């Protein structure tokens, strides 16, 4: 009995060890693949903006990188996104990209409206404060069907499951649970 218990425990430990070694390579992150860049002059600072998708489309997730000449070590900055209708989103500090730690960036962000966007930058560094904008960043219409149709199609299996469960519940009720007419 004890030998069998040890054999089972050894098997479980071996399976766990194998799964952990395989998980190490599977959980490695994909690097940010920059396919297009734009350049902005923010005062004395030259800034390269990288995009992981091009052309940009509304509601499509992508990565942005913001790379000042000379690196980000002695600099700080902020970003404001101006929508095509002229409204400004909140100003947010530029922070390191989660998968490209040597640069500033936004990870898996989408622009929710089509039209001409503006990215406004403020950078503080050893050469003082600099401001600049990337204007007329054209965002095309959303790919695929409209969101309402997509949601309706994706909800069909849920409605089918609800109908099936209601049918099964109704078929399998005990006779004493059925309401008798008075």
95-108 pLDDT, tens digit each: 999 988 999 999 88
Query: What is the C-alpha separation between 123 and 51, in angstroms, rounded?
Result: 20
CB 140 within 8 A of CB 58: yes
pLDDT of res. 171: 86
3-state secondary structure of 67: strand
Average pLDDT of span 40-62 = 93
pLDDT digits (tens, 9 = 90+) for 109-151: 899 899 999 999 999 999 999 999 999 999 999 888 887 888 8
Query: How far does CA 54 lie from the centroid of its chain?
Result: 16
46 forms beta bridges with 41
pLDDT above 90 (res 181): no
Domains of the chain, by residue range, sit at 36-140
Q: Which CATH number fits domain 36-140: 2.60.40.1930, 3.40.50.920, 2.40.10.10, 3.20.20.60?
A: 2.60.40.1930
């Amino acid at each position: 009995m004890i030998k069998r218990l040890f054999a089972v425990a050894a098997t479980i430990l071996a399976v766990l060890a194998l799964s952990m070694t395989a998980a190490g390579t599977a959980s490695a992150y994909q690097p940010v693949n920059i396919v297009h860049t734009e350049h902005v002059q923010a005062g004395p600072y030259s800034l390269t903006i990288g995009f992981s998708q091009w052309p940009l489309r509304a509601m499509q997730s992508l990565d942005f990188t913001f790379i000042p000449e000379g690196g980000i070590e002695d600099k700080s900055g902020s970003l404001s996104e101006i929508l095509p209708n002229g409204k400004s989103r909140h100003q947010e500090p530029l922070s390191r990209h989660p998968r490209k730690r040597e640069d500033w960036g936004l990870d898996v962000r989408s622009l929710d409206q089509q039209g001409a966007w503006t990215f406004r930058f403020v950078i503080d560094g050893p050469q003082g404060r600099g401001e600049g904008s990337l204007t007329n960043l054209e965002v095309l219409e959303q790919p695929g069907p409209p969101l309402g149709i997509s949601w309706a199609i994706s909800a069909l299996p849920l409605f089918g499951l609800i109908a099936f469960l209601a049918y099964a519940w109704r078929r399998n009720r005990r006779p004493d649970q059925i309401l008798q007419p008075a």
